[in-house]
């Protein structure tokens, strides 16, 4: 029986997919428990909590609730909160591993603020706070802390006892960066015996004391960059015996004293760039036998003594860029067997001395952007396989053949931007491993015979931007691996039959922008592997014989007047041919392209062609793209392009076409993209597009069209697959029933229409009849002042509509402006609207953009506010907004956003005068006030509750228990609010206080003993808010209630005297 059960159940189990187990610690199911914080991730080691845009009072309750769950917190982020002083038991009983507080204006952290997390907190990050005093006492309980980061602060000094507590027990990583720290007592850091990383980057430190880092023997990383340190010597860093990474860049060091790093023997990286060091010698780096990376760029070094780098024989990178060196001296870089990069670029070097580079292997040497005019003999001695030798941007007119010995060569040699005049001035004899040679931007006039020895690995030569006028015959034939040859931007006038000779490996030949007038018949035929041939911008008047292997040929910007028959050999590899910007005119005839068996793209732009060369094109059975832009076509006859069965794209824009006849595109069954823009078309025959059953995109913009139909038939009726139509910048003044294709029995696909920049004054039902499938409709920049009833509402699939830059006024009503439920973007900017049928927008579920900029809206209505709350991006800038109490709700919404979007930053007050020009999101709620008349309007609108000033605290509930009074309240703002203050006083005597108590910020309940409630009707209860500094905040009427009203069991009512409560606040402020 058991076996039978197993056999029956096993298939059922195997049918189900793998269900991964949930993490050990999950987020609370009740999200309100953590409000306003939220749980952002869960894992087997703990959850992650984020608290943003809140205050101590609100976060305190959330974290207090979280503590009751006893769930480990792997990471907690407190970001952009309104807290000035961190105090109290905010983190009490929380098991936090990593705590990050950022972008919060905390300037004081009270003693024991981290009590409760001291046993679990391993990493503390304090980013962009306003700390002015180092919180020594707050940190003293963090005995398990291993990493402390303080970035963005106002600390000026560290106290001597900063780490003289249990915080030093396990701390291995300390960062105090991006602030104004300028003084560090020696005693401050001494307790940190286990510290491995010390980062004091970007402060204001000017001086290091003797034994500044005494006792820090475990430190491996030291960052003192971006300070103003003027001196660094052995007394400062001698105790850092395990230092492996040191950065003192961007300081004010003027020298590197002898033996500075003598005791830092394991140092591997040293960065002293961007200082004012003037000299280096053999003692500068003595003792650094393991140094691998040395960065000394951007100093004022003009002298480097002999054997300076000899003591760091294992160096891998030496960066001396942007100094003041005027020569590479004898044996400056000698016997550096492990060096990988030597950078001496952008100095003032004029000469490279003998043996300057010796015994190097696989090194990259950068000597660019200097003034080098001479390289002495044996300058490069035993430099095997220099990966890159960059001598560009110098003043070299020649290089001695003896500059390199027999074994020294470069894999890539850069000699661009020099003064070379002959190619044989480059010592290539022993460059047997050379792969890339760049001699562009020189003054080379000829490439003489025997310029190149047998270089078996050279695959790229760039000789562009020279003055080449002559190339000796077969000069490149000794380069057996040459694949790319760039001879563009020279002065070559003729290519002789033997100029290139046989080059079986050449793939890319660039002869652009020379002065070529003639290419001999057989000059290129022996280039049997060439794929790309570029001869753009020359003076060729006739075509030359091509190598049959070419796949891309560019002969644009020449003077070709025609292509005679049999201009081409039989080619089955040519895919792309560019003949644009020539003078071909109407000299193309049948058979011209007959031999181009596989041509896919033909560019005939700007050739002065008056008639479509259909006969010549008819031979191109594989043609997919034709470009006839910028010619002089004036009329398209029937079957103007012949039969091109696989043509996908046709561009005949920028011509002078004024008329398109019937069946002009017959034979183009596969055409997908047709561009006829920028012509003078005023008339298109009804059957002009007959046969274009595959057409998807049609561009008729910038013409003179007034209609696309004859009221019974439409021009586009045959375009069954058309999806996108652009008829902008024409002369349409109306839209008829047949303007766009529509038929209940034919599933047309047209869904995107651009009708912008026309002269349409009104939208009638004819648009609705033909536009039922439209998804995007652009009607901007017209003259639309009226919309017919139900026109837009019947566009049931419309997702984007643009009616900006029209003349719409306030006649828009729901029945005339009824949008589809699927619409996502509505653009109505630059009209004359001051109201809209907002009930229409309530029906839209996924409205992402509503653009009503530069209209006449003077208020931000409640309906607009609801759209913002639902996630719609409302573009409102440029309207004459009156910033009164009615805009308080949207102002509060903007203030709750962590980052205010650009379109909300554009909302600017126009009135009242004292707020003119101020962005709304920057205006304080208290300054948005209404006049008496406006307050009367406010009452009639029944929205006084939302437009009134929001109090800090709101009474929530009250109940009697054993004659005691239990009060509950809630915090309404995310501004700086911490503790609450409960005051019970006599009604007409603000100084007659019978009860007063301060409630911690994490509590929302208090029990008032009955003995303090003896005054009954004369007793008044107030709950006031205090900020994190302990100061009472502003008073709001709603925060005081009469006891007589409370004990009646009715709702809370405001009956207190404002003057009395204000005097109460001032009195207690004075007393405190």
pLDDT tens-digit profile of 502-530? 899 999 999 999 999 999 988 998 899 99
- Taking 50 as the threshold, does the pLDDT of residue 392 lie above it? yes
- Taking 90 as the threshold, does the pLDDT of residue 627 lie above it? yes
Beta strand segments in 496-623, E: 508-510, 518-519, 532-534, 552-554, 576-578, 601-603
Q: What is residue 965's predicted lDDT score, i.e. its pLDDT?
A: 84
- Taking 90 as the threshold, does the pLDDT of residue 1057 lie above it? no
Structure tokens at 742: 């529509």
Q: What is the mean pLDDT of residues 673-688?
A: 93
Coil/strand/helix, residue 311: coil
**Cα–Cα distance, 302 to 304 (Å, whole number):** 7
- Mean pLDDT is lowest, of 83-92, 465-474, 766-775, for 766-775
Q: Which residues pair with 352 in a beta bridge?
A: 328, 375
Q: What is the pLDDT of residues 566-620, one digit of tens each?
A: 778 888 899 999 999 999 999 998 988 989 999 999 999 999 999 999 999 999 9
**Cα–Cα distance, 687 to 664 (Å, whole number):** 8
Number of residues written out for the chain:
1072
Q: What is the mean pLDDT of residues 286-305?
A: 93
Coil/strand/helix, residue 384: strand
Bond from prior residue into 912 cis (ω within 30 degrees of 0): yes
Q: What is the pLDDT of residues 169-204, one digit of tens each?
A: 999 999 999 999 999 999 999 999 999 999 999 999
Least Cα distance to 356 among 414, 403, 303, 298 occurs for 403
Residue 278: pLDDT band by 50, 70, 90 thresholds? very high
- Taking 50 as the threshold, does the pLDDT of residue 321 lie above it? yes
Pairing of strands 601-603, 625-627: parallel
Percent of all residues in the chain with a pLDDT value above 90, rounded to a whole number: 64
Coil/strand/helix, residue 223: strand
Q: Model's pTM, two decimal places?
A: 0.86
- Taking 60 as the threshold, does the pLDDT of residue 946 lie above it? no
Neighbouring CB atoms inside 10 A of 364's CB total: 18
Q: What is the pLDDT of residues 43-53, one digit of tens each?
A: 999 999 999 99
Structure tokens at 946: 């939302």
Residues 234 and 209: beta-carbon distance below 8 Å: no
Residue 310: pLDDT band by 50, 70, 90 thresholds? confident
Topology of domain 31-187, per CATH?
Answer: 3.80.10
Q: What is the pLDDT of residues 531-563, one digit of tens each?
A: 999 999 999 999 888 899 999 999 999 999 988
> How many Å from the N-terminal Cα to the C-terminal Cα in the chain?
84
Helices (H), 643-732: none
Least Cα distance to 491 among 467, 512, 471, 464 occurs for 467
Q: What is residue 812's predicted lDDT score, i.e. its pLDDT?
A: 65
Domain 952-1071 in CATH 2.60.40.10:
yes
**Cα–Cα distance, 942 to 938 (Å, whole number):** 7
Coil/strand/helix, residue 2: helix
Q: What is residue 273's predicted lDDT score, i.e. its pLDDT?
A: 97
Residue 664: pLDDT band by 50, 70, 90 thresholds? very high
Q: What is residue 831's predicted lDDT score, i.e. its pLDDT?
A: 94
Q: What is residue 38's predicted lDDT score, i.e. its pLDDT?
A: 93
Q: What is residue 1069's predicted lDDT score, i.e. its pLDDT?
A: 41
Coil/strand/helix, residue 274: coil
Q: What is the mean pLDDT of residues 7-34?
A: 71
Coil/strand/helix, residue 445: coil
Q: What is residue 2's predicted lDDT score, i.e. its pLDDT?
A: 52
Neighbouring CB atoms inside 10 A of 140's CB total: 20
Neighbouring CB atoms inside 10 A of 1017's CB total: 11
- In degrees to the nearest 10, what's the CA dihedral of 205, 206, 209, 212? 30
Residue 941: pLDDT band by 50, 70, 90 thresholds? very low
Q: What is the mean pLDDT of residues 427-450?
A: 93
Least Cα distance to 1028 among 970, 1065, 974, 979 occurs for 979
Q: What is residue 1017's predicted lDDT score, i.e. its pLDDT?
A: 66
The domain ranges of the chain are 31-187, 952-1071
Q: What is residue 993's predicted lDDT score, i.e. its pLDDT?
A: 81
- Taking 90 as the threshold, does the pLDDT of residue 974 lie above it? no
**Cα–Cα distance, 849 to 847 (Å, whole number):** 6
- Taking 90 as the threshold, does the pLDDT of residue 697 lie above it? yes
**Cα–Cα distance, 221 to 217 (Å, whole number):** 11
Residues 227 and 251: beta-carbon distance below 8 Å: yes
Give the DSSP letter of residue 626. Answer: E
Kindly report each contact of residues 545-549 with a partner whose C-beta sits within 8 Å and lies 24 or more positions away, as own/partner. Answer: 545/521, 545/569, 546/571, 546/574, 548/573, 549/573
- Taking 80 as the threshold, does the pLDDT of residue 991 lie above it? no
Same fold, 31-187 and 952-1071: no
Q: What is residue 1066's predicted lDDT score, i.e. its pLDDT?
A: 41
Structure tokens at 48: 């992650």
Q: What is residue 801's predicted lDDT score, i.e. its pLDDT?
A: 94
Q: What is the mean pLDDT of residues 765-781?
A: 87
Q: What is residue 4's predicted lDDT score, i.e. its pLDDT?
A: 47
Q: Vertex 945, ends 939 and 948: CA angle to 5°?
A: 85
Q: What is the mean pLDDT of residues 708-716?
A: 83
Coil/strand/helix, residue 408: coil
């Amino acid at each position: 029986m058991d076996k039978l059960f197993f056999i029956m159940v096993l298939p059922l189990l195997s049918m189900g997919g793998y269900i991964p187990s949930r993490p050990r610690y999950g987020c609370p199911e009740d999200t309100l428990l953590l409000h306003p914080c939220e749980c952002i991730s869960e894992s087997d080691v703990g959850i992650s909590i984020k608290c943003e845009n809140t205050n101590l009072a609100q976060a305190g309750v959330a974290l207090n609730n979280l503590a009751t769950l006893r769930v480990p917190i792997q990471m907690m982020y407190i970001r952009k909160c309104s807290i000035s002083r961190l105090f109290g038991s905010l983190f009490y009983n929380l098991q936090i591993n990593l705590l990050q507080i950022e972008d919060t204006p905390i300037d004081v952290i009270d003693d024991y603020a981290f009590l409760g997390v001291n046993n679990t907190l391993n990493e503390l990050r304090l980013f962009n706070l306003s700390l002015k005093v180092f919180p020594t006492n707050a940190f003293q309980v963090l005995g398990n802390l291993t990493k402390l980061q303080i970035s963005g602060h106002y600390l000026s000094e560290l106290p001597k006892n900063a780490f003289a507590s249990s915080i030093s027990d396990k701390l291995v990583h300390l960062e105090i960066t991006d602030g104004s720290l300028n003084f560090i007592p020696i005693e401050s850091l001494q307790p940190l015996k286990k510290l491995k990383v010390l980062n004091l980057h970007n402060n204001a430190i000017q001086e290091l004391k003797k034994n500044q880092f005494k006792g820090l023997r475990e430190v491996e990383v030291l960052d003192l960059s971006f300070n103003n340190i003027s001196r660094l010597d052995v007394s400062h860093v001698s105790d850092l015996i395990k230092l492996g990474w040191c950065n003192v860049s961007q300081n004010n060091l003027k020298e590197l004293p002898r033996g500075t790093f003598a005791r830092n023997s394991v140092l591997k990286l040293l960065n002293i760039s961007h200082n004012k060091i003037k000299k280096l010698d053999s003692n500068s780096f003595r003792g650094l036998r393991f140094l691998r990376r040395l960065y000394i760029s951007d100093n004022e070094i003009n002298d480097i003594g002999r054997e300076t780098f000899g003591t760091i024989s294992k160096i891998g990178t030496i960066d001396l860029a942007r100094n003041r060196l005027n020569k590479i001296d004898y044996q400056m870089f000698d016997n550096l067997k492990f060096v990988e990069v030597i950078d001496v670029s952008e100095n003032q070097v004029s000469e490279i001395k003998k043996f300057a580079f010796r015994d190097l292997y696989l090194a990259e040497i950068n000597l660019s952007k200097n003034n080098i005019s001479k390289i002495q003999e044996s300058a490069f001695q035993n430099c095997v396989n220099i990966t890159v030798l960059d001598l560009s941007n110098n003043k070299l007119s020649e290089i001695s053949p003896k500059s390199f010995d027999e074994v020294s060569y470069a894999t890539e040699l850069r000699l661009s931007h020099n003064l070379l005049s002959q190619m044989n001035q480059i010592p290539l004899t022993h460059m047997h491993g050379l792969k890339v040679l760049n001699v562009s931007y020189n003054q080379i006039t000829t490439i003489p015979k025997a310029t190149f020895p047998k270089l078996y690995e050279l695959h790229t030569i760039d000789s562009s931007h020279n003055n080449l006028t002559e190339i000796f015959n077969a000069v490149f034939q000794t380069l057996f691996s040459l694949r790319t040859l760039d001879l563009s931007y020279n002065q070559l006038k003729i290519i002789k039959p033997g100029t290139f000779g046989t080059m079986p490996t050449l793939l890319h030949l660039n002869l652009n922008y020379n002065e070529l007038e003639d290419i001999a018949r057989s000059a290129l035929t022996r280039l049997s592997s060439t794929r790309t041939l570029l001869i753009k911008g020359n003076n060729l008047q006739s075509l030359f014989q091509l190598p049959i292997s070419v796949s891309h040929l560019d002969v644009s910007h020449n003077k070709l007047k025609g292509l005679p028959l049999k201009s081409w050999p039989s080619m089955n590899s040519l895919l792309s041919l560019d003949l644009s910007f020539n003078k071909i005119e109407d000299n193309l005839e049948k058979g011209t392209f007959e031999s181009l068996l596989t041509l896919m793209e033909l560019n005939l732009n700007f050739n002065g062609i008056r008639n479509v060369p259909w006969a010549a094109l008819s031979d191109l059975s594989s043609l997919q793209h034709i470009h006839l832009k910028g010619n002089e076509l004036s009329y398209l006859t029937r079957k103007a392009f012949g039969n091109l069965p696989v043509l996908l794209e046709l561009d005949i824009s920028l011509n002078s076409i004024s008329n398109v006849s019937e069946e002009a595109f017959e034979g183009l069954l596969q055409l997908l993209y047709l561009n006829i823009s920028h012509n003078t078309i005023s008339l298109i025959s009804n059957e002009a597009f007959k046969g274009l059953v595959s057409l998807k995109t049609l561009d008729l913009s910038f013409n003179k069209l007034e209609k696309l139909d004859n009221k019974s038939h439409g021009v586009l009726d045959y375009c069954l697959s058309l999806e996108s139509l652009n008829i902008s910048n024409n002369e349409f003044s109306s839209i008829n029933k047949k303007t766009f294709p529509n038929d209940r029995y034919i599933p047309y696909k047209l869904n995107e229409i651009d009708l912008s920049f026309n002269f349409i004054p009104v939208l009638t039902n004819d648009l609705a009849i033909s536009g039922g499938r439209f998804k995007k409709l652009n009607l901007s920049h017209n003259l639309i002042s009226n919309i017919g009833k139900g026109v837009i509402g019947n566009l049931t699939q419309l997702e984007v509509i643009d009616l900006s830059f029209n003349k719409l006024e306030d006649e828009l009503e729901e029945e005339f402006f009824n949008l589809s439920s699927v619409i996502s973007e509505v653009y109505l900017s630059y009209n004359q609207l001051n109201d809209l049928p907002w009930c229409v927008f309530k029906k839209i579920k996924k409205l992402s953009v509503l653009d009503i900029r530069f209209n006449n809206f003077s208020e931000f209505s409640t309906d607009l506010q609801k759209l913002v709350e639902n996630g719609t991006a409302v573009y409102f800038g440029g309207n004459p907004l009156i910033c009164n109490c009615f805009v308080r709700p949207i102002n509060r919404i903007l203030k709750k956003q962590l980052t205010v979007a650009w379109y909300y930053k554009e909302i600017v007050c126009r009135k009242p005068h004292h707020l003119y020009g101020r962005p709304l999101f920057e205006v304080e709620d208290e300054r948005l006030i209404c006049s008496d008349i406006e307050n009367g309007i406010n009452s009639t609108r029944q929205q006084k509750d939302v437009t009134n000033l929001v109090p800090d605290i709101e009474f929530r509930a009250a109940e009697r228990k054993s004659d005691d009074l239990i009060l509950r309240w809630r915090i309404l703002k995310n501004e700086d609010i911490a503790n609450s203050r409960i005051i019970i006083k006599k009604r007409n005597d603000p100084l007659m206080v019978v009860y007063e108590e301060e409630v911690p910020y994490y509590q929302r309940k208090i029990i008032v003993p009955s003995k303090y409630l003896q005054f009954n009707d004369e007793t008044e209860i107030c709950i006031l808010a205090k900020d994190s500094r302990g100061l009472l905040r502003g008073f709001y009427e709603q925060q005081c209630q009469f006891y007589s009203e409370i004990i009646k069991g009715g709702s809370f009512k405001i009956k207190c005297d404002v003057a009395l409560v204000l005097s109460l606040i001032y009195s207690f402020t004075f007393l405190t």
